[in-house]
Amino acid sequence: MIDNIGKKVTEAVGNIVPFYLYEGAADSYPYAVYFYTPEYHRTKDGVYKITADVTVQVYSDAFDEAYEKADDICDALLAALNADGFKCDMNTGSKECVEDVWNVEVVYSITQTV
């Protein structure tokens, strides 16, 4: 089994905001970054599922925009990753403002079984 969680996350979110793995490279707001570490669950026959906590952080200079984009991303991930061998649940969310830049962070638990 090949880890397709990152690919599915990117496909679901890519049209909402500029979206980067680990570190943003955008010249303007809003944009989002995500990071995750897959965990492979094995038996003697091989990998039977992959799980990961995926953290998505949305950055914007306006709270309403950051929150709206985080909400859009949540809807997209829950729709795209609750079918065809994937399961996605939203775990936690938080928000903070540092130097007039809002960061809305949401953590998702994702399981891949195909």
Per-residue pLDDT at 1 exceeds 90:
no
Per-residue pLDDT at 14 exceeds 90:
no
Q: How many domains does the chain have?
A: 1
pTM comes to 0.92
Give every CB contact of residue 29 below 8 A, 6+ residues apart in sequence.
59, 60, 61, 62, 65, 101
> What mean pLDDT comes out for the span 75-80?
96
**Pair 60, 29: CB distance under 8 Å:** yes
CATH number for the domain spanning 35: value is 3.30.2000.30
**Pair 55, 94: CB distance under 8 Å:** no
Domain that holds residue 85: 5-112
